[in-house]
Amino acid sequence: MANEQDEIHAETDAARAGSTPHIVRWILILSLFAAIVLLSLIWITGAATRGPGPQNVEYSEAAPGSATAAPSPTPTTGN
């Protein structure tokens, strides 16, 4: 078994040969904030520049045995 006299006890700063200014915490916080802002701007400007989508679209079911399996959209005329 190891002898207690052989153990080395050193302060944290001395063992690391430097100080710990906690700069990593601030870099992570600022980069997270920047990522949220950047993605929000991309999302907002994309939604703002996109034209209006189809409105009042009615879907008619395909007749049984017809060649089209998926329903095709039929826009309404507004009457």
CA 27 to each of CA 12, 18, 22, 32: distance values in angstroms, whole numbers, following the listed order: 22, 19, 9, 8
pLDDT at residue number 67: 58
Average pLDDT (28-51) is 92
Within the chain, residue ranges assigned H as helices are 12-16, 23-49
pLDDT at residue number 68: 56
Average pLDDT (62-66) is 61
Whether pTM exceeds 0.75: no
**pLDDT exceeds 70 at position 5:** yes
pLDDT at residue number 62: 63
pLDDT at residue number 11: 79
